[in-house]
Amino acid sequence: MSGGVDLHSHTTASDGALAPRELVRAAARRGVRVLAITDHDSTEGLPDAFDEVAKHPPMTLIPGIEINCDVDGGEVHILGYFLEYQTEWFQAFLREQRSERKARVYRIAARLAELGMPIDPEEVFALVKEGSAGRPHIAQVMVARGYVKSFREAFNRYLRAGGPANVPREKLSPAQAVGIIRRVGGVPVLAHPGLAERDDLIPDLVTAGLMGIECYYHEHSATQTLNYLRMCKDLNLVATGGSDFHGLHVGRTNPLGSPAVPLSVYEALKARAGEARATRPT
Ligand code: AMP
Ligand code: ZN
Ligand code: FE
Ligand code: FE
């Protein structure tokens, strides 16, 4: 078996540019053989994606999720893989998360108005359509209104963690997100820890049931990647990786299938999934 492995991607079900079927086709064109779709707080893209993947053998799709949590001084994102995502209590949890995201859009809009940059939340929701609302949609409206020149400027000046227009979420801690993923039979993985710079939280996350760390990531330096690979070895965690592909609209240009992730990572993740099912908390 050959081909690329990409364990982190987004569709229009959250803040990605491509519809699930388009994403699968784009991944196939780039030689991705194992793809995980990890939309923020939504699995709504998965049925179409599974249907499309069936047309591209021998491609494999891993059902995934990304849950963003705010912590003091930053944000921590938790990925989940191979979860039994159709479980009713889990879907209720995701619906609640999405409704909080919607409420957060109103709160951020109020902050922006105070800063002299009024936006209409309805404009944001028009971009989101059926998906999971997030700051990238707000950034797009800020660019359209001419408040900032680029998506990146919107984040760097206003929307980043600790930024003047950001409103942190308080409800869910990263350890709780890890616990939820374990309870739904999934494999929880700490996303791009080099961006969060909260490695001090890792021991607690491991206690909560964390099974992996996203080591291979385009914004990690070579040193960071090596450090996280070593950490995975020391803590007996699986070292994962992915593109975090969103499409070009959000000012992130990292392509699908990059950086390269060894196929052995997929095998290791599958083994953890078996373990997660066998030790699932009730
Ligand atoms: P949210 O769902 O509101 O937490 O927004 C998180 C998403 O915003 C991430 O998945 C990225 O797509 C994007 N994002 C977060 N921080 C930045 C940043 N500093 N620059 C560009 N995009 C970012
Ligand atoms: Zn995103
Ligand atoms: Fe993330
Ligand atoms: Fe992501």
Quick: pLDDT tens for 21-41. Answer: 999 999 999 999 999 999 999
Measuring from atom 16 of ligand 1, which residue has the nearest CA?
160
pLDDT band at 14 (very low <50, low <70, confident <90, very high): very high
Among candidate residues 76, 78, 79, 80, the one with its CA nearest the CA of residue 196: 76
| Token duo for residue 209 | 């049931």
Quick: pLDDT tens for 241-253. Answer: 999 999 976 666 7
* Spatial strand order in the sheet of 4-6: 4-6, 32-37, 60-71, 74-81, 187-190, 212-216, 238-241
Measuring from atom 18 of ligand 1, which residue has the nearest CA?
155
Quick: pLDDT tens for 81-118. Answer: 999 999 999 999 999 999 999 999 999 999 999 999 99
Quick: pLDDT tens for 161-178. Answer: 999 999 988 789 999 999
Which pLDDT belongs to residue 1? 40
16 lines ligand 1 (CB under 6 A): no
Which pLDDT belongs to residue 222? 97
Best residue among 71, 135, 143 to mutate for probing ligand 1, ranked by most atoms within 8 Å of CB: 135
The answer to whether 40 and 15 are in contact (CB under 8 A) is: yes
Among candidate residues 93, 95, 125, the one with its CA nearest the CA of residue 108: 125
15 lines ligand 1 (CB under 6 A): yes
For 154-232, strand residue ranges (E) read: 187-190, 212-216
Which pLDDT belongs to residue 53? 98
The H-or-E segment that residue 272 falls in is helix 263-278
Q: Which residues surround ligand 3, an ion (CB under 5 A)?
A: 77, 191
Omega within 30 of 0 (cis) for the link into 118: no
pLDDT band at 2 (very low <50, low <70, confident <90, very high): low
Among candidate residues 125, 126, 131, the one with its CA nearest the CA of residue 44: 131
102 lines ligand 1 (CB under 6 A): no
Pick the atom of ligand 1 nearest to 75's CA. 4
Quick: pLDDT tens for 36-66. Answer: 999 999 999 999 999 999 999 999 999 999 9
* CA angle, 153 then 124 then 69, to 5°: 70
* DSSP letters spanning 11-62: -TTTT-SS-HHHHHHHHHHTTEEEEEE--BT--TTHHHHHHHHTTSTT-EEE
